[in-house]
Amino acid sequence: MAIDLSQFHQTFFEESFEGLDAMESGLLNLAPGSSDLDAVNAIFRVAHSIKGGAATFGFQEVTAFTHVMETLLDGMRSGTRTMQADSKDVLLQSVDCLRAMLTATRDHQPIDLPRVQGLQAGLEALLGQTPGASAAKAANEEASGGAGWRIRFRPLPQMYQTGNDPTRMFRALEGLGSLRVEADTRGLPGWESFDPEQAFLGWNLELKSAAPRKAVMEVFEWVEGDCELEVTPLAGASPAAAAPVSAPTPVAAVPAAAAPAAPEAARAAVAASSGQGDGSSIRVGIDKIDALINMVGELVITQSMLSQLSENFDISRLPTLLAGLTQLERNTRELQESVMRIRMLPISFVFNRFPRMVHDLSQKLSKKIELQMSGEGTELDKTVLEKIGDPLVHLVRNSLDHGIERPEVRRAAGKRETGTVHLNAYHQSGNIIIEITDDGAGINKEKLLSKARERGLVADDKAPLDDKAIFDLIFHPGLSTAEQLSDVSGRGVGMDVVRKNIKAVGGTVDVQSQQGVGTTITIRLPLTLAILDGQTVRVGEETYIIPLVSIVESIKVKNEMVNMVAGKGEVIRLRDEYLQVLRLYQVFQATPTFTSLEDGLLVVVEGEGNRACFFVDELLGQQQIVIKSLEANFKRVEGVSGATILGDGTVSLILDIPGLIQLAHRNPPSVAFFQTSAAA
Amino acid sequence: MTTAQAQTAERDEGAGIGGHAGQFLTFILAGEEYGVDILKVQEIRGWTAVTRIPHTPAFVQGVLNLRGTIVPIVDLRMRFGMERVEYTPLTVIIVLSVLREGQKRTIGLVVDGVSDVLSATADEVKPAPHFGDSVRTEFVNGLVAANDKMVILCDADKLLTAGELQALDAIH
């Protein structure tokens, strides 16, 4: 067969990893002792399809390993075993191991064989064998020690219909060693009922070969289910069976020796085709694609309507034209939204790893922790989703390790012994909010503050910080809140990296905590990175864009609302809050139409929790803008997060709201920030 | 321009003054004729209004939408420290594709007018004399004589250097 199987590798790995995720969550949902057949079946199917796929592609280690898992699961499926806590743990570990094996196979790395064998032994032990017997069996399976195999092969009548030919299998067996075939004709019917398309013969085979059981089973792979097959070691001079104690050594040696040969071939095949399948892919629901096709259909109709209209146009048909253009606008917008939706994935892709993590960590930390999740269906841009995974893991780890107390501590504090960690995701005004809430100990403000003072991050004599400023300290690099480092937290990314990662995708992170009650960490993320809703504002002759999500409100002020601090810094009072006024024309050195605050407009904006007012001449309109990079051809400009192209083809700058607010805090707004640039 | 040509051009540039043979697009700036490697030229277009960018040196006029890409526009007169003149219908922007920090970037140069295409061999290109500190010559690759006129060959990659932009960043 000349089919290049390697082209399917990527699909196999993707499907297998997805399957493993499903398996893992299925296992976690299974209560010990339960016999929820549907769940067990689902888990079994995953193991089965991975085994089948791996066998097809020749990933023998994976096949052998999943086979044992499958056998165990099959027992549970048929009701001869129940899922116990220990088997659940071993199966979960097997999922990890399988994932590692698949990753290694995909990346052409050697597989961690001792780990595989350890787990395989564990699985076999669960299958009801004593460890000694399992070692002996493993030895029999892996290395027959030169004696060979007795194979009893009885095809079911319909076997030929699947295109299998026993003689071909026997020839393959012959390649493994010397073969003696004995036909069993007892099943032959009389001539009157003989059907030439059915199998009636059976065979007893004796294979004298050092080939492992795997190799023998492989020959019969395609007829599995279509025959009765028994493979038993040849009795007699089998050294492995005679000396089970010394068996473990060959177990380790044989697969190790066999392993390099097969992956080597696979590696060569994949290397040849690695050019095709490198790019990351995305799975899109068929409903999204259908919606897209519908939309394009409508767009084509509108377009043909408009072009027909233009053929003999006179002014009386202007209303029709305008209606057509409105429709075109709607179509375009819908199309754009559908295309963007393709990139959107439910946040459950990230959330799904947490049940397992909480399961493992609560055992390790000997805490009782319940994980609640809501809003898993909230969709998020794929790029954002990929970048948010690690920070979220870190935050949840923190909650488990530092947040939730030990059961005895909780009992003493009058709380439920089982702590709760709640993950929640929802939309709020164009943002995605992810909240991680725990009902643990909360952050000790005094301790945090004294630590910060120790490190000189906060001046001793400074006025007392508000809660927000104190909690912000935990994001400071070099300031660890951990009393003692454990292997749960205190490794990998720190809180400063968490914040940096979230900022990199345009998000913010906030901490709220009350000692003894719990901590809530709120992450705000933009829906998507490439397109945003913007408010165009005019400053003199220039047009700037303020992201709509940052605008709180726009107000017209009276002079008596404005106060001057130290004769320079303008503030206005807005509902019991004093806000700094930033005159955009001063920041951007433009020539404004109005210089009096009364004549123009004040736009109240919020960025990273800080508020300020921007003074502009007027608001122009709202529109969706496609963000373009200024850096690509030029450089980063302070106060500007990017540029976009307006409807008339001119370029307009998008304001970096948090950056501008920071700028305003740093410099008094009446001083132009860039007096120096003219000199350069 | 084919990739092969571009590579040749880049190789030539790497070879120092002697290797600067090839074709040059010449343009007028304050009565003098300047030349840039024609393989670096992406297009020539008339002056259109640009969007001013705050916090940039004065010679950066702003940015322009070039079929969806944002391109910075540099007034070459001001870049060379010459007096600025009003833009006329003859004022053109030469769009160049240059290398900066190992990355391909597109910039536009505002010049008084485009003149000619000049072929020069390596022998014809003479090194520029050293003017001392008073005249900036780091972007001058050499001088070449054509039709009794002197053409100043510029290194397109050095016209808007990263170092200059960073120096500006450092001020604030």
CB A554 within 8 A of CB A572: no
pLDDT band at B95 (very low <50, low <70, confident <90, very high): very high
CB pairs under 8 A between A and B: 83
CB A5 within 8 A of CB A57: yes
Is residue B144 predicted with pLDDT exceeding 80?
Answer: yes
Which of A646, A651, A662, A663 to mutate to test binding with chain B, by most B CBs within 10 Å of its CB? Answer: A651
Is residue B147 predicted with pLDDT exceeding 60?
Answer: yes
Separation of alpha carbons A371 and A428, rounded Å: 23
CB A403 within 8 A of CB A366: no
Which residues of chain B are within 8 Å of residue A625 when distances are taken between CB atoms? none
| CB-neighbour burial class of residue A393 (10 A; exposed 0-12, middle 13-18, buried 19+) | middle
CB A649 within 8 A of CB B69: no
The dihedral over CA atoms of A310, A313, A319, A323, expressed in degrees to the nearest 10, equals: -10
CB under 8 Å to B130, separation ≥6 — which residues?
B137
Phi, psi of A409 (to 5 degrees): -65, -40
Phi, psi of A617 (to 5 degrees): -75, -50
CA distances from A359 to A107, A148, A370, A371, A397 (A): 29, 45, 9, 9, 12
Phi, psi of A107 (to 5 degrees): -90, 10
In chain B, residues 57-76 whose CB comes closer than 8 Å to chain A: 57-58, 60, 62-65, 68-72
Please choose, from the candidates A449, A487, A451, A488, the residue with its C-alpha nearest in 3D space to the C-alpha of residue A467. A449
Question: What is residue B9's predicted lDDT score, i.e. its pLDDT?
Answer: 43
Check B51 against A651: CB less than 8 A apart.
Answer: yes
Check B51 against A645: CB less than 8 A apart.
Answer: no
Q: Strand pairing of A178-184 and A202-208?
A: antiparallel
CA distance B106 to chain A (A): 6
Q: Which residues does A contribute to its contact with B (CB < 8 Å)?
A: 542, 587-590, 628-630, 632-635, 637-640, 643, 645, 649-653, 673-674, 676-678, 680
Sheet with A569-573: strands ordered across: A551-555, A601-607, A610-616, A578-583, A569-573, A562-565
Which of B53, B56, B84, B98 to mutate to test binding with chain A, by most A CBs within 10 Å of its CB? Answer: B53
CB B89 within 8 A of CB B45: no
Phi, psi of B145 (to 5 degrees): -95, 135
Which residues of chain A are within 8 Å of residue B56 when distances are taken between CB atoms? 637, 677
Distance, first Cα to last Cα, chain B: 40
Separation of alpha carbons A676 and A483, rounded Å: 47
Whether chain A has a CB inside 8 Å of the CB on B97: the answer is: no
Q: Residues in chain A with pLDDT < 50? A: 1, 129-145, 237-278, 484-485, 487-488, 490-492, 669-680
- Side-chain-side CA neighbours of B79 within 13 Å: the count stands at 22
Which of B42, B55, B67 to mutate to test binding with chain A, by most A CBs within 10 Å of its CB? Answer: B55
Q: Smallest Cβ distance to A680: which of B49, B53, B168?
A: B168
What digits encode the pLDDT tens for the residues B6-52? 444 444 444 344 444 688 999 988 888 999 989 999 999 988 888 88
Please give the structure tokens belonging to residue B79. 């870049």
Q: What are the DSSP calls for B48-61, one per residue?
A: ---B--TTS-TTEE
CB A547 within 8 A of CB A532: yes
CB A40 within 8 A of CB A105: no
CA distance A514 to chain B (A): 40
CB A584 within 8 A of CB A601: no
Separation of alpha carbons B154 and A459, rounded Å: 54
CB A111 within 8 A of CB A105: yes
Taking CA–CA distances from B108, the nearest residue in chain A reads A633
Rg (alpha carbons) of chain B, rounded to whole number: 16
Please choose, from the candidates B58, B25, B138, B16, the residue with its C-alpha nearest in 3D space to the C-alpha of residue A677. B58
Check A677 against B68: CB less than 8 A apart.
Answer: no
Q: Please, what's the largest Cα pairwise distance for chain A? A: 115
Q: Smallest Cβ distance to A639: which of B54, B69, B165?
A: B54
Which residues of chain B are within 8 Å of residue A635 when distances are taken between CB atoms? 162, 165, 169
Separation of alpha carbons A51 and A42, rounded Å: 14
Taking CA–CA distances from B52, the nearest residue in chain A reads A542
Question: What is residue A671's predicted lDDT score, i.e. its pLDDT?
Answer: 41
CB A617 within 8 A of CB A510: no
What digits encode the pLDDT tens for the residues A120-137? 888 887 776 444 444 444
For the range A50-57, what are the long-range contacts, defined as Cβ-Cβ under 8 Å and sequence gap of 24 or more? A50/A16, A50/A19, A50/A20, A50/A98, A50/A102, A53/A12, A53/A15, A53/A16, A54/A12, A54/A16, A55/A218, A55/A221, A56/A5, A57/A5, A57/A8, A57/A9, A57/A12, A57/A266
CB A134 within 8 A of CB A121: yes
Question: What is residue A604's predicted lDDT score, i.e. its pLDDT?
Answer: 92
Q: Smallest Cβ distance to B69: which of A590, A633, A650?
A: A633
Separation of alpha carbons A284 and A367, rounded Å: 39
CB A116 within 8 A of CB A60: no
Rg (alpha carbons) of chain A, rounded to whole number: 34
CB A269 within 8 A of CB A6: yes
Strand partners, B116: B26
Phi, psi of A500 (to 5 degrees): -60, -45
Whether chain A has a CB inside 8 Å of the CB on B41: the answer is: no
Sheet with B92-100: strands ordered across: B41-46, B92-100, B103-111, B69-75, B60-66
CB A184 within 8 A of CB A151: no
Please choose, from the candidates A29, A57, A59, the residue with its C-alpha nearest in 3D space to the C-alpha of residue A42. A29
Separation of alpha carbons A62 and A47, rounded Å: 10
Q: Smallest Cβ distance to A633: which of B52, B57, B106?
A: B106
Taking CA–CA distances from B95, the nearest residue in chain A reads A633
Check A651 against B70: CB less than 8 A apart.
Answer: yes
What digits encode the pLDDT tens for the residues A162-214? 777 777 777 777 777 778 788 877 777 777 777 777 777 888 888 777 777 77
Is residue B156 predicted with pLDDT exceeding 70?
Answer: yes
Q: Is A49 helix (H, G, I), strand (E, B) or coil?
A: helix
CA distance B55 to chain A (A): 6
Separation of alpha carbons A513 and A470, rounded Å: 10
Separation of alpha carbons A572 and A581, rounded Å: 7
Which residues of chain A are within 8 Å of residue B63 when distances are taken between CB atoms? 630, 634, 643, 651
